[in-house]
Structure 1
């Protein structure tokens, strides 16, 4: 396949554009985008919520530093890396602007962006339980959560989640480290190695013959009325959303440190791989709180599973799946193999998304190899999708104000990819 062949540019040509239905690479410029101020004014979430999540991260920093190597003073964050000139030139295809990578493929603890949401929600639940049990007291170091009465309390509770792999691992790592029982419901397209590493943590893995949506729905029903358990709902969790949103503050600090301006004359395009939508939605929302209309979120989805594009194009009155658009939801990007987007996310950030770009699997393997050989980045196919989208987006023509833009590709997973899996992915390029 010629990965330089460009998709058709679409906007409001019908509820679900014909190229999307045909599983063709598509750039969908969001006709429903509105100004940030009006969207944020009507939102159920505010900057205070995001900063509250950041404050919780700070409270738990001593615990994270004690439990996990690689956390910088208890922070779970990744570097902002410049893309080398040769690779950046290839990505831009002659278009102006600088290219950076927010390297969550190498995020501490989990090696994937899901730590920002999954780890955060486990910590929020642990704090709630500890408070209800009277274990919190003034001046307490949260490092105590890993010992004594805290672990005894947590051992009597179960945390459950439905996942294709990375969210389950993030919940499992943090949950088991605190002594919780953990149950992960996984779809047919979850990788065997991701299931095995959960079992090695001591988590219970429940396999489902159906897709991600079925795994989530089954787990939700199983834990709906259990007082001794907490279900991490990837489709409808406020804690997940806010945990991801707090990542915007990390990027803001890094951009300032690098001397990168973000304003009307210097827009920030951020390319965010999208599955159900929690991670990209939270990040996009947080960045919009900080930068307003100067940030231009671009969501990235596989051609076979563009659930957010389908939902936004069809409207927000009811859930709409890719199956209704005639697509099969089968992709090598297992973390993005989701048939239906989160309505919570679609309704919250839909009007803030600049575009959705869909990419074929061949592009994922092409850029996975290019990033490995050109920059030494070890990515999962899902994490390579942002580079595929950036290349197509720029080649298809950018808005006039993008001449002085900064482009940030947010990677999502890869550091923990087994050697055999990575070699197999490279061989497909």
Structure 2
């Protein structure tokens, strides 16, 4: 091992690490899965998070015009993508059993990614706490009042600080600045320039780092310690972020019921979640496990150069090991997933129920983006395509039983500038189909 670290693993783990080092498509199955969620959070706490979001709906509806039609509820739709299923089957030479669906978190209002769930929820939770402590509101009042100047005056004396590769920073920055907070976003070297520009446009302070995500977070955490009026959004350890993401489980159940989609023993649900440090996919997976129990099988999808959660879970070391320790670079076009060390909090929490994790190459991301545009006219940012390859990897391993429902979680993309999106699509069109040879 690098960096003076000396770990001893059994042969199967050594073999898996060697495949990771060779940048192969690795599928790790959690053979210690117990289908039991942690007792750290309950369905009641997730419902309380949903209730908080509903209390804020009147304010959100007035603050963002795009939320008027949804009455202030930030949620995305689910759609079938049968033509993309055919594209994947052709590209991978693997038949995919069951239906393929897309969860359109790339179209989530306000910040255009899955981070609109946890990130915005954490800002709202902090704002509510300050307003309740100051006596400006009670939980029985109409939260439309949060648009009043008295609230903005209160929030203007407080800071929110976060470290991010991009999308979490966008959700915190856009929401925080809108409410009147002073927001500072520490952005890692992987963050895209357009995301930094958009944050500045919305009124946030952006601090750029030449180092990776881990260093950006550390700097943000240290800065917050120096200011008694600063609140640090901790993507590695935040229970509040986690609960905000978990609400997705309650909402997806209702969406499936409305669409007539059955999830049971004969119709298992397979969900593919792009994963960076683990907070967003971990929270969503937790919520899904609470709702669907043993009938849901959640997989994390990670770049071949940044499979931090897979590495932490498979070795059992969690945040005590980083991808750099096995010689990987943590350099990927999937900026939101460019994390070298996983959240130990999330890893240990999902370990009992997560079905597994797998890796995907950057060229596969771009090829699938081009394929999705051609087949379904849907545009995602590269990192959001990580989940798309999951059903083909499982099909190749003969892991899927019954008449399954495959759900790809599209984590971002609607806010990508048109010219940059066209560059992504062009790059995908120029990627040879042989990139789907699962090596």
- Select 2:44's aligned residue among 48, 54, 73: 48
Cα deviation for residue 137 of structure 1 reads 3.1
What is the distance in 2 between the residues matched to 1:206 and 1:319? 27
Aligned to 1:74: 72
Aligned to 1:83: 81
1:205-354 aligned within 5 A:
205-316=206-317, 318-354=319-355
- Deviation by residue 1:180-229 (Cα, 9 ceiling, x = unmatched): 00000001111111101011111100011100010001100111253211
The TM-score, its normalising length taken from structure 1, stands at 0.93
What is the distance in 2 between the residues matched to 1:305 and 1:110? 24
Cα deviation for residue 28 of structure 1 reads 0.8
- Deviation by residue 1:371-416 (Cα, 9 ceiling, x = unmatched): 11111111100011111232232233224xx231100000011001
Structure 2 unmatched runs, 5+: 1-9, 429-439
Aligned to 2:30: 30
What is the distance in 1 between the residues matched to 2:11 and 2:155? 50
Q: Does 2:15 align with 1:19? A: no
What is the distance in 2 between the residues matched to 1:117 and 1:317? 22
Q: Contact (CA 8 Å) 1:187, 1:212: kept in 2 or not?
A: yes
Secondary structure in 2 matching 1:182: strand
Indicate the RMSD between aligned Cα atoms, in angstroms.
1.5
Cα deviation for residue 258 of structure 1 reads 1.1
What is the distance in 2 between the residues matched to 1:22 and 1:14? 14
Q: 1:395 to 1:133 in 2, by over 3 A?
A: same
- Deviation by residue 1:293-351 (Cα, 9 ceiling, x = unmatched): 11100110000000000100121475211111211001110000000111111011122
What is the distance in 2 between the residues matched to 1:195 and 1:235? 21
Aligned to 1:63: 59
- Deviation by residue 1:140-171 (Cα, 9 ceiling, x = unmatched): 21111121211110000010100011100100
What is the distance in 1 between the residues matched to 2:136 and 2:337? 39
The range that moved more, 293-302 or 128-137, is 128-137
Aligned to 1:389: 390
The TM-score, its normalising length taken from structure 2, stands at 0.91
Q: 1:32 to 1:325 in 2, by over 3 A?
A: farther
The range that moved more, 261-270 or 52-61, is 261-270
Paired residue total: 412
What is the distance in 1 between the residues matched to 2:239 and 2:381? 27
Aligned to 2:407: 408
Cα deviation for residue 12 of structure 1 reads 7.7
Structure 1 unmatched runs, 5+: 1-10
What is the distance in 1 between the residues matched to 2:259 and 2:377? 22
